[in-house]
Amino acid sequence: MNSRFNTILFLFALIILVSGCGEVEPSIYEGDLFISYTRGTEGRYVVLAQNVPYPMQIGIPYPVDQDLNVVLKVIHATGTEGVQFDLPSSVTIRKGQVIANFHVYGHADYMTDRSDTLVIGIEHDNAATFANEYTIFMQPPCEFVLEEFIGDYTAYEQSDYEDSPYDPYAVNFAENPKGGDTLVVTGMWPGEPFKVVFNTADPSNYTFNIPDQFLLANLGDYGETRISDEGQGLVLTCEHELSIRYQIYVAEGYFERALIKFVKD
């Protein structure tokens, strides 16, 4: 963690300088038409008893003057269509539109003791050479038990300010003496342990947050340092894995912005 910390501290002055250089004008894509998935290329689908569907989306960079009918092809499946899952054979991006939504349906009755992987491809003359396959990891729900997330983890982190990920390092999640669905994290940054809060109301979508909070009194002579998330983090209860985007900031600006994944040892 020390080499990672020193590297970020060294670069922080440069970040402060470039942050005041003004905004870059956005550019409009005018190249060849392509069709791709628009929400990443993989996701986890917790199949509940009420068969809540998994939402998916494809899109194009600009509207066209005709409907585009896109074939959905199962590239790989450990389950059987019509037994473990259902999906449409095609989806249409309507004339003048740039996206089309569809759903995959998992059958909870057939997934009480199994997990499945489903890869769905796009077939069309204008299918993109990237983001043209989507992998869904289907699983039954695993109950969230706070105590099972207490312990040692390995952290895998990719900073917005570095080309390569940091070397993996050790952190610890411990019980919060104040109770609640919260734990405290040490080993990630110098300074005070910080709190994470788990959101467990929806068993199909367990999440967690890093509330905005004090971290360190004086980081590299930049004054009080705070930590917070940049949106809800993902909780994988079966694997005991957590991932979230977070930020470290001081009065002058951001000290760190990164995506981090915690894998329990």
Are residues 125 and 158 both part of a single domain?
Answer: no
- CA 174 vs CA 21, 161, 200, 234: distances in Å: 42, 29, 18, 19
How many domains does the chain divide into?
2
Q: Is residue 25 part of a domain?
A: no
Torsion 217-220-223-229 (CA) sign: negative
Q: Is residue 56 part of a domain?
A: yes
Q: Is residue 3 part of a domain?
A: no
pLDDT at 12: 47
Q: Are 141 and 200 in contact (CB under 8 A)?
A: no
Identify the CA nearest to 56 among candidates 39, 72, 81. 39
pLDDT at 11: 46
Q: What is the CATH number of the domain that holds 97?
A: 2.60.40.1740
Tell me the three state secondary structure of residue 56. strand
| Bridge partners for 157 per DSSP | 260
What single-letter amino acid sits at 59?
A: G
Among 104, 139, 174, residue at a domain's last position = 139
Strands (E), 87-218: 90-93, 99-106, 116-123, 133-139, 151-159, 169-175, 182-186, 194-199, 207-209, 213-216
253 vs 120: CA distance, rounded Å: 42
Name the pTM for this structure: 0.61
Q: Is residue 50 part of a domain?
A: yes
Among 86, 110, 139, residue at a domain's last position = 139
Are residues 259 and 153 both part of a single domain?
Answer: yes
Among 82, 114, 139, residue at a domain's last position = 139
Kindly state the tokens that stand for 185: 């994290």
Q: Is residue 24 part of a domain?
A: no
Q: Are 70 and 93 in contact (CB under 8 A)?
A: yes
pLDDT at 85: 94
The domain in which residue 59 lies consists of 36-139
pLDDT at 24: 52
Are residues 132 and 148 both part of a single domain?
Answer: no
10-residue mean pLDDT series, the chain (265 residues): 49 46 62 93 82 91 96 96 94 97 91 86 96 92 91 95 93 93 91 91 86 86 89 88 93 88 96
Are residues 132 and 151 both part of a single domain?
Answer: no
Are residues 130 and 153 both part of a single domain?
Answer: no
Are residues 190 and 255 both part of a single domain?
Answer: yes
Q: Is residue 9 part of a domain?
A: no
Q: Are 72 and 54 in contact (CB under 8 A)?
A: no
Are residues 87 and 176 both part of a single domain?
Answer: no
Are residues 154 and 260 both part of a single domain?
Answer: yes
Q: What is the CATH number of the domain that holds 198?
A: 2.40.128
Are residues 128 and 197 both part of a single domain?
Answer: no
pLDDT at 217: 84
Kindly state the tokens that stand for 22: 């003004």
| Bridge partners for 262 per DSSP | 155, 242
pLDDT at 236: 84
57 vs 68: CA distance, rounded Å: 14
Are residues 170 and 243 both part of a single domain?
Answer: yes
